[in-house]
Structure 1
């Protein structure tokens, strides 16, 4: 059972890393237009995969403070930006939501990739 969870954590790390690279490479048009529905769903799946991976990492290993910081910051960044979709939980909570959110998804995928890479390296 424990070996299966360790494999699941490793798979979550890899899927999130590869997913962020793929999303970033496909997200250049988001600098000038809004994300398509499939891009919103893909980014939300990446965010939830990152959150699940970080939670499992905490439960299994009790990571160091640096490893925990990189994991939490990257997962929260992805989760908050995924809430900027039209009708999303984060967008509804803002007093003045942004009109265009494409560039936020682009930059979040880039910064999220950098933070996630450090999360993997410090683990």
Structure 2
């Protein structure tokens, strides 16, 4: 059975309201078996001009996923908005975890629609 787990820093700092909202999104997401999927939560630009894309990473596989450098894209309506290389944390088998991808300023197309996009692994 899939479980929701918050990384330590998230667990210490997340508000009760956000925790309940993420739990609600998790409980209402239909997950296929044996895949790594991303459910978009929100997007924002921080004070440094970085694009923040918060998601729930779902590992429905029977094995954990390890933090290897991988290329990720942020796509809105089939249009590439951002690309960058990240390491996500180790996520155990049958576990979902909220995570924020931080695309540095310059790695995304400014003045583009940022809402409603999807994270894709390359």
Fold similarity call, TM over 0.5: no
Q: TM-score, normalised by structure 1?
A: 0.24
Higher percent of residues as helix: 1
Q: Higher strand proportion, which one?
A: 2
Which structure would you say has the larger RCO, counting Cα contacts within 8 Å and 6 or more residues apart? 1
